[in-house]
A and B are shown apart, each in its own frame.
Chain A
Amino acid sequence: MNHEEIIIDGPNIAHGADVPTDHHAHDHEHHEQHFVWKYIFSQDHKVISKQFLITGIIWAVIGALFSVFFRLQLGFPDSTFPIMEKFLGDWAKGGKLSPEFYYALITMHGTILVFFVLTAGLSGTFANLLIPFQVGARDMASPFMNMLSYWFFFAASIFMFVSLFVETGPASGGWTTYPPLSALKEASIGSGVGMDLWLIGMALFVVSSLLGGLNYISTVLNMRTKGMTMTRLPLTIWALFFTAVLGVLSFPVLFSGLVLLIFDRNFGTSFYLSEIFIGGKALPHIGGSAILYQHLFWFLGHPEVYIIMLPGMGMASEILATYSRKPIFGYFAMIISLIGITLLAFLVWAHHMFVTGMSPFLGSIFVLLTLLIAVPSAVKVFNWLTTIWRGNIRFTPAMLFALGFVSLFISGGLTGIFLGNSFLDLHLHDTYFVVAHFHIVMGVSAFFGMFAGIYHWFPKMFGRFMNATLGYIHFFITFAGAYLIFWPMHYEGIAGMPRRYYDYSAWETFKHFQSLNAFISIVAIIVFFAQLLFVFNFFVSIFRGRKVTTMNPWGATTLEWTTPINPGHGNWPGEIPEVHRWPYDYKDDGNGNDFVPQTVPLRPGEEAH
């Protein structure tokens, strides 16, 4: 097929700034592509990025809607909500959620948000959009693999979505799906077909993530334009690069864990099963270890937290610098702390398992390594704060979300210091304190990074602006709402209230939090509608938003703003520009501008960073 050759042709001569080439070879605008190849089975990183984003948004709405359903149950356990019956049918007979489906909802809420939104939706969108743009490449190293990455994700989405409609319900053993609960059909109805579909969906998801990750890594390492040394890369690229490294090294371990679980479920093996009496009979399994699964799961599960966090960190760094009109403070310290976080991310997984009966000595090692990760995190926070110090801050929606990101990252990070210390974890483990901690630090704050990125790069994606007023409304409701929802959960957790309970009214120790739960639920519903407002703004702005009229509307220094307003496949109509300086030269350029793009050569006598 003709168009494919052209597409593959582009990136292969990406270093072409120094290679004399015929300009017209890159001018893909002339080649009219069929709709299917241009928008559906597209190999253009920009289109794939939009595909990831829009699929992610759809999943996010579904996942958030689930949280509204189970928050209704938690906030008002004595009331019925007939509207739920409309959505959920017999799972909410008479408007009252059944316990089985409550657990299915929390499981799918976690799975969807962690994997389908904050991994695929976040990395998939911004790694695809920004890596070729910001390193100066015409596309990914392998556009075809990149396309496969999306379509494997799409297939995973289909399986996960179908699992919502099977008769026995979707998986309901928590997003961590610990066996034996998830391995035995007798243990829970969600461990039937729903769990099989969950496992297939996740296996496909891992494939998608690996195809994407390998591409991101090779593009960053091999396809940088002339002059773009590693130390001239924007921090977004550094962050997305380490995100991909984390994914490539840890997702296979999850995959192996899932495969063993599939074997235990279907082929009579005993990797995770031992000495179990269930459903009125003793099972033949002997010698497996249920804890083995937890090691395999958390070996991905913990790096996964950083897979979710790092893109937000990178984008916040970029956006804070851009709208403060100041260089990011401590560029090298930021890179070193990213490396530190990446390395430590592999060495802390068992802090999720302090109470599994593991050796206390082993636990102590994980305490040390876990609290060590607070150091690079603290360095990043201090660097962000110094970045805005004595800046000239423009409060665009993107900047507000980046500031909110820092605020939430501090709040959620500090509670991690409690949970990482095994002795304190003894009481707080699996309580609402944990729920509050991870929702703030990797849920909401990663979302804030994502929102910041969307508001900031929307003009590059669609050639139009999102409506700023709606952005401000969205920001303040979400920011206040996030704190109002999750701050009170800390109190519940400190009181020892366990997570994943359907109803607390029978518990003498926990029942006095009922009115607080109702309050949290009301705020959650308001915040849900604020997110719908964002989705509305997003889709309407694609078609009706104010048009972008200049190539570089935010006055940013990085390469993506040197492309045309609506770049075609290949990104730059002419040669790829050459890079002469680091990406954060926010200083007087001698012509009255307060920034110097990366493509501008050093002036005589000017020192490089």
Chain B
Amino acid sequence: MSALITLTLIILVFVIIYQISKASEYTAVIRGEEKVKLQTNRTIAWLLVIFFVLGIYGIWMCNDYFKDKMLPVAACESGVHYDSMFNMTLLVTGIVFFATQAVLFWFAFRYQSTEKRTTFFFPHNNKLEIIWTTIPAIAMAILVAIGLKNWFNTTSDAPANAQIVEVVGKQFNWLIRYPGKDGELGKRSFRNIDDATNILGLDWNDKHNADDIIAQNGELHMVVNKPIKLLIGSRDVIHDVGLVHFRMKMDAVPGITTTMWFTPTITTDSMKQITGNPDFVYEISCDQMCGKGHYSMRGTIIVQTQADYDKWMATQQPYYVANAPTPAPGQPSIPATADTSKTAVKAETTKAITMK
């Protein structure tokens, strides 16, 4: 019932507005249409000027207000390059924006219809066309050149000393796999996946898997000033590893391994001081629509010193220890100490899964 009343009210308001507008048509006829037309024209021209002035003022205020909230502090070298190129593009487009909009609104106001005005028959001018074809072409060429230089630098092969970590997306969280002591990630196959005991489908016949560590809470640890290369995959649908502070994005596609690399330059702790936010944390956002939990597919990155990283690493258990089937005879390299904590770790892992 209330919906019906609201609807009736809305329609009523529309009818009233229409009737008032309609009345203006009749008064125009009474007062002389030509005269009213000219008057309306003047009013509209002034409104456009007011619109432009308020608009530019608003943009100015907005820019001022959002200055610190736009690009977050860049935490890697290519991110710094990114910011300088972004700002340069912003400057170029900003000038063009202001100039063309100003011209548009100025012409609209300046050449509004009046009784005396005659128009200037000016159908074409090849010189002008050539000028404003060439100038944008040159500007674009410069932007392309700068962009591609940065693009090839960023997408080049990772340095040989880069730390390698695998990031795998699934609905709706990130799984991080570290290669462990041997520095190599073992083989995995989607056919081996089991949500309880083998979340990434590691192949237990591959020795390299025995020491691999899997973080199921989506926590990605990195060493500051050391290049890191991410091998990115997906278990189900397309996700995207979005790293705002590193100005990086890469899709996680089932059946394909994609990569990205960068060198983090600021630790999480220093970042807390730089931003003045004690809760600061580097976040991994999913940037490719992946289902109903897309908005909550969050991972975190902890950039730390080598010492802190080593300390953290020492506390980690290989995934094998907690989850492998009873050690096969051909599996030699399992630390003896791990066996004792096996049940405890396993309980913890299962808990983590049920929470997701």
Partners in one complex: yes
Residue of B92, B113, B171, B292 most packed against chain A (CB within 10 A): B292
A406 within 8 A of B: yes
Contact of B100 among A327, A381, A473, A504 (CB under 8 A): A381
Report how far A507 CA is from B238 CA in the complex, Å.
21
A102-128: CB near B (< 8 Å → 1, else 0) gives 010000000000000000000000000
A469/B236 contact (C-beta < 8 A), A331-B124, A375-B136 known: no
> Which residues of the other chain, B, contact A609 by a CB distance below 8 angstroms?
123
Q: Could you tell me if B44 and A355 are in contact, using CB atoms closer than 8 angstroms?
A: no
Report how far A424 CA is from B48 CA in the complex, Å.
34
Contact of B25 among A172, A469, A487, A491 (CB under 8 A): A469
Q: Could you tell me if A392 and B151 are in contact, using CB atoms closer than 8 angstroms?
A: no
Contacts between the two chains (Cβ within 8 Å), count: 356
Instruction: Tell me, rounded to whole Å, the shortest Cβ–Cβ distance linking A587 to chain B.
Output: 5
Size of the A side of the interface (Cβ < 8 Å), in residues, is 127
Report how far A534 CA is from B92 CA in the complex, Å.
37
Q: Could you tell me if B253 and A426 are in contact, using CB atoms closer than 8 angstroms?
A: no
Q: Could you tell me if A414 and B97 are in contact, using CB atoms closer than 8 angstroms?
A: yes
Q: Could you tell me if A356 and B295 are in contact, using CB atoms closer than 8 angstroms?
A: no
Which residue in chain A gives the minimum CB-CB distance to B150? A423
Report how far A280 CA is from B199 CA in the complex, Å.
11
B154-177: CB near A (< 8 Å → 1, else 0) gives 110000000000000001000000
Report how far A438 CA is from B190 CA in the complex, Å.
37
Report how far A565 CA is from B144 CA in the complex, Å.
52
Which residue in chain A gives the minimum CB-CB distance to B251? A356
Instruction: Tell me, rounded to whole Å, the shortest Cβ–Cβ distance linking A373 to chain B.
Output: 9
Q: Could you tell me if A275 and B45 are in contact, using CB atoms closer than 8 angstroms?
A: no
> Which residues of the other chain, B, contact A422 by a CB distance below 8 angstroms?
147-148, 151
Report how far A282 CA is from B121 CA in the complex, Å.
71
Q: Could you tell me if A430 and B238 are in contact, using CB atoms closer than 8 angstroms?
A: no
> Which residues of the other chain, A, contact B17 by a CB distance below 8 angstroms?
470, 473, 533
Report how far A187 CA is from B190 CA in the complex, Å.
16
Which residue in chain B gives the minimum CB-CB distance to A359? B155
Interface residues of A in 408-466 (CB under 8 A from B): 410-411, 414-415, 417-418, 421-424, 426-427, 429-431
Report how far A277 CA is from B17 CA in the complex, Å.
58
A500 within 8 A of B: yes
Q: Could you tell me if B112 and A421 are in contact, using CB atoms closer than 8 angstroms?
A: no
> Which residues of the other chain, B, contact A573 by a CB distance below 8 angstroms?
none
Report how far A174 CA is from B296 CA in the complex, Å.
17
> Which residues of the other chain, A, contact B189 by a CB distance below 8 angstroms?
275
B356 within 8 A of A: no
Report how far A180 CA is from B288 CA in the complex, Å.
12
Q: Could you tell me if B107 and A178 are in contact, using CB atoms closer than 8 angstroms?
A: no
A16 within 8 A of B: no
Instruction: Tell me, rounded to whole Å, the shortest Cβ–Cβ distance linking B31 to chain A.
Output: 14
B83-112: CB near A (< 8 Å → 1, else 0) gives 001100110110011001101110110011
Report how far A536 CA is from B25 CA in the complex, Å.
17
Q: Could you tell me if B295 and A504 are in contact, using CB atoms closer than 8 angstroms?
A: yes
A12 within 8 A of B: no
In the complex, identify which listed stretch (B209-217, B242-250, B305-313, B317-325) lies at the interface while the others stay far away.
B242-250
Instruction: Tell me, rounded to whole Å, the shortest Cβ–Cβ distance linking B341 to chain A.
Output: 28
Q: Could you tell me if B120 and A390 are in contact, using CB atoms closer than 8 angstroms?
A: yes
A379 within 8 A of B: yes
A355/B62 contact (C-beta < 8 A), A372-B140, A491-B70, A507-B283 known: no
In the complex, identify which listed stretch (B127-135, B219-227, B330-338) lies at the interface while the others stay far away.
B127-135
Contact of B295 among A383, A406, A503 (CB under 8 A): A503
A546 within 8 A of B: yes
> Which residues of the other chain, B, contact A426 by a CB distance below 8 angstroms?
82, 154, 247-249
Q: Could you tell me if A389 and B255 are in contact, using CB atoms closer than 8 angstroms?
A: no
B72 within 8 A of A: yes
> Which residues of the other chain, B, contact A273 by a CB distance below 8 angstroms?
254-255
Interface residues of A in 294-339 (CB under 8 A from B): 324-333
A554 within 8 A of B: no
Which residue in chain B gives the minimum CB-CB distance to A390? B120
B315 within 8 A of A: no
Q: Could you tell me if A394 and B71 are in contact, using CB atoms closer than 8 angstroms?
A: no
A280/B195 contact (C-beta < 8 A), A332-B124, A357-B258 known: yes
Q: Could you tell me if B55 and A483 are in contact, using CB atoms closer than 8 angstroms?
A: yes
Report how far A388 CA is from B112 CA in the complex, Å.
9
Report how far A504 CA is from B22 CA in the complex, Å.
46
A594/B119 contact (C-beta < 8 A), A274-B254, A469-B24 known: yes
B243-271: CB near A (< 8 Å → 1, else 0) gives 01101111101111011000000000000
Instruction: Tell me, rounded to whole Å, the shortest Cβ–Cβ distance linking A23 to chain B.
Output: 36
Q: Could you tell me if B144 and A368 are in contact, using CB atoms closer than 8 angstroms?
A: yes
B14 within 8 A of A: yes
Q: Could you tell me if B295 and A379 are in contact, using CB atoms closer than 8 angstroms?
A: no
A390/B97 contact (C-beta < 8 A), A282-B191, A288-B255, A290-B254 known: no
Instruction: Tell me, rounded to whole Å, the shortest Cβ–Cβ distance linking A507 to chain B.
Output: 6
Contact of A394 among B55, B113, B151, B250 (CB under 8 A): B113
Report how far A550 CA is from B298 CA in the complex, Å.
64
B18 within 8 A of A: yes
Name the interface size band of chain B.
Answer: 35 or more
> Which residues of the other chain, B, contact A289 by a CB distance below 8 angstroms?
255-256
Interface residues of A in 512-570 (CB under 8 A from B): 512-513, 529, 532-533, 536-537, 540, 544, 546
A291 within 8 A of B: yes
Q: Could you tell me if A423 and B82 are in contact, using CB atoms closer than 8 angstroms?
A: yes
> Which residues of the other chain, B, contact A472 by a CB distance below 8 angstroms?
44
> Which residues of the other chain, B, contact A1 by a CB distance below 8 angstroms?
none
Residue of A280, A288, A393, A410 most packed against chain B (CB within 10 A): A393
Q: Could you tell me if B292 and A379 are in contact, using CB atoms closer than 8 angstroms?
A: no
Q: Could you tell me if B18 and A537 are in contact, using CB atoms closer than 8 angstroms?
A: yes
A36 within 8 A of B: no
A494 within 8 A of B: yes
B47 within 8 A of A: yes
A40-54: CB near B (< 8 Å → 1, else 0) gives 000000000000000
Instruction: Tell me, rounded to whole Å, the shortest Cβ–Cβ distance linking A12 to chain B.
Output: 36
B193 within 8 A of A: yes
Q: Could you tell me if B151 and A360 are in contact, using CB atoms closer than 8 angstroms?
A: yes
Contact of B111 among A86, A290, A393, A584 (CB under 8 A): A393
Q: Could you tell me if B104 and A357 are in contact, using CB atoms closer than 8 angstroms?
A: no
Q: Could you tell me if B254 and A275 are in contact, using CB atoms closer than 8 angstroms?
A: yes
Q: Could you tell me if A181 and B287 are in contact, using CB atoms closer than 8 angstroms?
A: no
Interface residues of B in 38-57 (CB under 8 A from A): 40-41, 44-45, 47-48, 51, 55
Q: Could you tell me if B21 and A470 are in contact, using CB atoms closer than 8 angstroms?
A: yes
Instruction: Tell me, rounded to whole Å, the shortest Cβ–Cβ distance linking B172 to chain A.
Output: 10
A403 within 8 A of B: yes
Report how far A189 CA is from B291 CA in the complex, Å.
9
Report how far A422 CA is from B248 CA in the complex, Å.
11
Which residue in chain A gives the minimum CB-CB distance to B90? A418
Contact of B151 among A367, A382, A469 (CB under 8 A): A367
A371-391: CB near B (< 8 Å → 1, else 0) gives 110110011011101101111
Contact of A178 among B47, B124, B238 (CB under 8 A): B238
A488 within 8 A of B: yes
A-B pairs, top 4 by smallest CB distance, nearest first, are A274-B255, A357-B258, A496-B244, A469-B21
Would you list 15 pairs from A and B whose C-beta atoms are within 8 A, ordered by A residue? A178-B288, A180-B237, A181-B289, A275-B255, A330-B128, A367-B148, A383-B129, A390-B119, A393-B111, A407-B105, A417-B89, A423-B147, A500-B294, A503-B296, A532-B10
Known: A275-B190, A374-B136, A410-B101. 17 other contacts (CB 8 A): A103-B291, A178-B237, A276-B254, A289-B256, A291-B253, A327-B122, A355-B251, A367-B148, A378-B136, A386-B128, A417-B92, A467-B25, A468-B40, A476-B47, A496-B285, A509-B72, A586-B121
B residues lining the A interface (CB < 8 Å)? 3, 10, 14, 17-18, 20-22, 24-25, 37, 40-41, 44-45, 47-48, 51, 55, 59, 62, 66, 69-72, 82, 85-86, 89-90, 92-93, 96-97, 100-101, 103-105, 107-108, 111-114, 117-125, 128-129, 132-133, 136-137, 140, 143-144, 147-148, 150-152, 154-155, 171, 189-191, 193, 195, 201, 232, 235-238, 240, 242, 244-245, 247-251, 253-256, 258-259, 277, 279-281, 283, 285-296, 298
